[in-house]
Copies of this chain bind each other. A is one copy, B any other.
Amino acid sequence: MILFTSDYTEGAHPAIVEKLASTNMEQTVGYGEDAYCEEARGYIRRECGREDVDVHFLVGGTQTNMTVISAALRPHQGVLSAESGHINVHESGAIESYGHKVLSIPSADGKITASQVKEACISHREDDSFEHMVQPKMVYISHPTELGTLYTKAELVALREVCDAYDLYLFVDGARLGYGLMAPGSDVRLADLARLCDVFYIGGTKVGALFGEAVVITREELKKDFRYIIKQKGGMLAKGRLLGIQFAELFREDLYYQISGHGISMAMKLKEGFLEKGYKLFIESDTNQQFIIIPDEKLEALKEKFVFTYWQRLDDKTSVIRICTSWTTKEAAVDALLAEI
């Protein structure tokens, strides 16, 4: 069976595995204060084009989301998110477990717009009972989104402006960031995120690392005591160097971009292959998640050799499936799938 179910079905890029092995018996201090973490921080600052950002390494995405949000908000404040946002639907209530409401905003494509954010803030402020309602204080977006879509730089600028106008933090979940950075036509670079967001993270788990997310904090007031919060939320890895070593490999040169680019080219090949054979897309995605509309009988046939995610039923005879590529997808696997459709 070939798995197209997610972008974390394999281990890590071989260069990372080798480096972990070759450094294995070195002695270092713990908790992310070792030289490898410092090295990796340097590379990430370079890519961000800013020396004044704080960089922290955490293990996973849910952990990162709950740590950042809990660090940033006061008890009565909530975070605006697309209805389909990971924090709203797929984290077992991690954000609420630390006391904060996720204020969901309807979205067909996984994105939210500056005008939706503005509307939410105005509606909150103008309500007579505003003190009886959760105060919006942060905007959470994922880039790419859970539906594979991307924000343009102009959309991010607009979000930044509305956040400034209404005193909100802008937080970008970059669990799949590499696939966004390398998507054809996308004009958003790391330096743009570092300029436009208050805090964002660069996903490693789904992009070549065994695990790990690199949080970049640009806003001064969010930097304070962040390591306490990481520790409290269970996210401070004892052997912190494991994260430093991995991100150093990914960003010493251009490995992160290169392997993300591979994932994207496999996704584009798949997308074009399906389109050529007359299939329709459920949603237009230029990233490593492709949502394909597929007749149920075809779907059953494919299941014999391939595993993917059943996304939703479309009508009596048709469904939507999600196919995920990644940094490690083999071209042969893509060819095999395309040969069957």
Interface size for A (C-beta < 8 A) is 76
Residues of B within 8 A of A227 (CB): 131
Residues of B within 8 A of A295 (CB): none
Evaluate contact between B94 and A100: CB separation under 8 angstroms: no
- In angstroms, how far is the closest chain B Cβ from the Cβ of A13? 9
Evaluate contact between B27 and A232: CB separation under 8 angstroms: no
Evaluate contact between B96 and A96: CB separation under 8 angstroms: yes
Is the contact region of chain A dominated by helix, strand, or loop, or is it mixed? loop
Q: Which of A31, A75, A229 has the most CB of B within 10 A?
A: A75
Residues of B within 8 A of A96 (CB): 78, 96, 99-101, 134
Q: Which residue of B lies closest to A232 (CB)?
A: B92
Copies in the complex: 4
Evaluate contact between A225 and B25: CB separation under 8 angstroms: no
Given A26-B10, A100-B96, A228-B76, do A90 and B129 touch, yes or no (CB 8 Å)?
Answer: yes
Evaluate contact between B30 and A10: CB separation under 8 angstroms: no
Evaluate contact between B21 and A132: CB separation under 8 angstroms: no
Residues of B within 8 A of A31 (CB): 131
Evaluate contact between B21 and A228: CB separation under 8 angstroms: no
- In angstroms, how far is the closest chain B Cβ from the Cβ of A225? 6
Evaluate contact between B11 and A132: CB separation under 8 angstroms: no
Given A98-B99, A99-B96, A99-B98, do A233 and B234 touch, yes or no (CB 8 Å)?
Answer: yes
Evaluate contact between A8 and B238: CB separation under 8 angstroms: yes
- Provide the bound-state CA to CA distance between A21 and B210, in Å: 11
- Among A222-263, those with CB < 8 Å from B are 225, 227-229, 231-239, 242
